[in-house]
Amino acid sequence: MFDTTQRMRDFTLQVYARMGVSTSAAFEAGKQSRVISRKAGDLIWRTGAPITHWHHIIEGMVAEQVTMDQGLSYPLTLHSSNSCFAKHDLLGDGRAQVDYLAVTDVELLTLPASAYLALVRNDAGFAQHLLGELSSQIRQQNNQLIVNKCSNSALRVIGGLALCAEGLCLAAEASAASGQAEGDSLMLPLSQQMIARLCGVSRTLFSEYIGQLEQGHWVRLQYRGVELQRLSAWRGVFVRLHGHQVWRRNPPIEALLGLLAECAADREQRYA
């Protein structure tokens, strides 16, 4: 755990610098920043709750989700290490527009809402960084909402797993970490119960579909989580769902398994 030492100050300066904040503004923001922790399954904010702080994820994963028909919750965005959340809510009326759920244990760097809004107003570098993030995120969330609302249970499971793959890969790329190469596997360090919750289906339905995915070697079930195999195929499915409006055809699980195979074949042809 970080403490209020030079190491903490250096860390906060690095975080804000990566987001385009000037050195002087980063130093002032660092003075007001604090580190907090939340447990897996904790609801950080419920829809409509006042948001008091902007949050940056040091470690762990947080989902933005909405509750729709039959009380099921559907994910819109999955945030992982080195990403932040609640930024657009604070620019609006200051209340949570979605539920924010800790899907793993998380450690968070927080900044009071007033200090965050001051950065947006006064620091051009931060404002430009934020605009780029918001543009991409809002477009993805609108697409994901349509996919979740209009899709069947099989598509929710495949789409939810593809969302996890895309979100974690983008976070790794943004943080300049040594990312997963295309064709590699990706471990989702979540229980099957939590993944089912993220996908907006019952545990029973999730088990049915994950079993078929395992038979097709698209996933590998391990004690510590679900491992996605042939990662580029999963990322290809994410693009197809959002760019090609696959949800309009209401595809059954067999068609979605075929879509995974098509995306894997596309990757093989591209690098043949």
Same domain, 13 and 110: yes
Confidence of residue 183 (pLDDT cuts 50, 70, 90): very low
pLDDT in tens, 226-240: 999 998 899 888 888
Whether 145 is in a domain gets the answer no
Confidence of residue 89 (pLDDT cuts 50, 70, 90): confident
pLDDT of residue 182: 47
Give the global pTM. 0.73
Q: Is 230 left (phi over 0), alpha (psi -120 to 50) or beta?
A: left
Most confident option among 40-44, 86-90, 184-188, 243-247: 40-44
Q: Which domain holds residue 59?
A: 6-140
pLDDT in tens, 113-131: 999 999 889 988 888 777 7
pLDDT of residue 207: 92
pLDDT in tens, 64-73: 888 766 666 7
Same domain, 14 and 135: yes
| Residue 46 Cα to chain centre, angstroms | 17
pLDDT of residue 98: 87
Last residue of some domain: 82, 111, 140? 140
Last residue of some domain: 92, 111, 140? 140
Q: Is residue 61 a contact partner of residue 80, using CB atoms and an 8 Å limit?
A: yes
Find the mean pLDDT for residues 121-149: 68
What lies within 8 Å, CB to CB, of 18 at 6+ separation is 82
Same domain, 76 and 161: no
Read off the CATH number of the domain in which 86 is found.
2.60.120.10
- Letter string b/e over residues 34-46, b meaning 16 or more CB atoms within 10 A of that residue's CB: ebeebebeeebbe
pLDDT of residue 148: 58
266 pLDDT above the threshold of 60: yes
Confidence of residue 57 (pLDDT cuts 50, 70, 90): very high
Same domain, 100 and 200: no
193 pLDDT above the threshold of 70: yes
